[in-house]
Structure 1
Amino acid sequence: MAYLSTNPAKKERFLCIYPAYINNKKTIAEGRRIPSEKAVENPSCAEIRDVLTAAGMNVLFENDKFYPREWNRDVQFRGRVRVQIKNEDGSLYQDKFTSKKDIMLYVAEMIPKLKTRTQKSGGGDSAAQQGEGGKKGKKKKK
């Protein structure tokens, strides 16, 4: 993990990534910054941190921060990830990440491939389908 000092030059090289930026449940007005078809359903800071750490990026997890536009203060919506995109000399930390948008799109692409996501989605889909079927049946009976 990286240590973020009070040096302004260091802070400039670390970008803030909030989960709302890549959440497909959010509108652009609510803070989503990538197209909804590429975004992820309710990402967490821990997932963002895990993906960026696995990619070899220098990250800092701040779980005491809130996204200013987020009205819900629950634990799952708390936190942000700071990621270093440039070195001290101004060169890119990694060539494949040239901008904040590149990082957000990469994270949104990789989060669904995490083991926690693949295990959850298998059970969640069948439960959602059963619930929808029950609702449809009740509507027909009325």
Structure 2
Amino acid sequence: MWVTQAVENPSCAEIQSVLTAAGMNVYVEDKMHPKEWNRDVQFRGRVRVQLKQEDGVFCQDKFSSRKDLMFYVAEMIPKLKTRTQKSGGADSSSQQGEGGKKSKKKKK
């Protein structure tokens, strides 16, 4: 059921931009799992979100749990401009450099 709503490779920057646009208090920490193979800054970080105020009242009524927050993020990330513009132009460059190789034979 939840696999259909999943987003492929969400970055911390995408999650931050979606939640900031929704009016949430968001903080990205510079954290990374030790076994993470990709050490690029784009894929690094932990997103901290304030769901409740100090008195226990939710910051926004539409996010009453972490589950609601995750479903919202999964719904909104595919609608970002960076996700919609990436899908074009990759097919033409994949066929370059395939032909014309000759095998070398040994001379006796």
TM-score between the two structures when normalised by the length of structure 1? 0.58
Identity of aligned residues (%): 66
Matched, 1:42 2:9: yes
**What are the Cα deviations for residues 32-88 of structure 1, in whole angstroms up to 9, with x where unaligned?**
xx92211111110000000000000011111x20146x5324224311110000001
1:118 corresponds to which of 58, 80, 84: 84
TM-score, with length taken from structure 2: 0.75
Q: Distance in 1 between matches of 2:48 and 2:84?
A: 25
In the alignment, the residues of structure 2 paired with residue 102 and residue 95 of structure 1 have an alpha-carbon distance, to the nearest angstrom, of 10
2:39 aligns with one of 47, 71, 74: 74
More strand by share: 1
Higher helix share: 1
The count of residues paired between Structure 1 and Structure 2 equals 94
**1:67/1:104 Cα in 2 relative to 1: closer, same or farther (>3 Å)?**
farther
CA separation of 1:77/1:114 partners in 2, compared to 1, >3 Å: closer, same or farther?
same
Which of 90, 93, 96 lines up with 2:62 in the alignment?
96
Q: Which amino acid aligns with 2:72?
A: Y
Q: Which runs of 5+ in 1 are unaligned?
A: 1-33, 135-142
Contact 1:112 1:118 in 2 (8 A): yes
Q: CA deviation at 1:111?
A: 0.3
Among candidates 14, 18, 41, match of residue 51 of structure 1:
18
Q: State the one-letter code of the partner of 1:91.
A: V
Amino acid in the other structure paired with 1:115: K
Give the root-mean-square deviation of aligned CA atoms. Answer: 2.3
* Greater gyration radius: 2
